[in-house]
Amino acid sequence: MTDDSTPEVLTGGCLCGHIRFEATGDPYDPHLCSCPHCTRLSGGPFMGWVGFQRTAFTWTGPGMPGSFRSWPTLERWFCPVCATPLGAAGDGEELLGVCLSALDDCDGITPIGHSFRDRTPTWLPPIPSTLPTS
Ligand SMILES: [Zn+2]
Ligand SMILES: [Zn+2]
Mind listing the pLDDT tens digit for each residue in 30-77? Answer: 999 999 999 999 999 999 999 999 999 999 999 999 999 999 999 999
Domain of 104 in residue numbering reads as 9-114
Q: What separation in Å is there between the alpha carbon of 118 and the centre of ligand 1?
A: 32
Does 16 map to a domain?
Answer: yes
Is the residue at 119 inside a domain? no
What one-character-per-residue DSSP string does 81-95 give? TT--EEEEEETT-SE
Ligand index nearest the alpha carbon of residue 115:
2
Identify whether 129 is part of a domain. Answer: no
Query: How many domains does one find in the chain?
Result: 1
Ligand 2 centre and the CA of 1: distance in Å? 25
Which spans in the chain are helix H? 36-42
pLDDT digits (tens, 9 = 90+) for 5-20: 555 899 999 999 999 9
pLDDT at 5: 58
For the domain that residue 87 is a member of, what is the CATH number?
A: 3.90.1590.10
Q: How far is the CA of 82 from the centre of ligand 1 (A)?
A: 4
Strand-pair category, 66-71 with 57-59: unpaired
Q: Classify residue 79: in a domain, yes or no.
A: yes
Q: How confident is the model at residue 3 (pLDDT cuts 50, 70, 90)?
A: low
Model confidence at 129, in pLDDT bands (50, 70, 90)?
confident
Residue 26 lies in a domain: yes
**Considering the domain boundaries, does residue 92 fall inside one?**
yes
- Evaluate whether residue 121 is within a structural domain: no
pLDDT reported for residue 7: 54
Q: Indicate whether 4 belongs to any domain.
A: no
Q: How would residue 134 be classed by pLDDT, with cut points 50, 70 and 90?
A: low
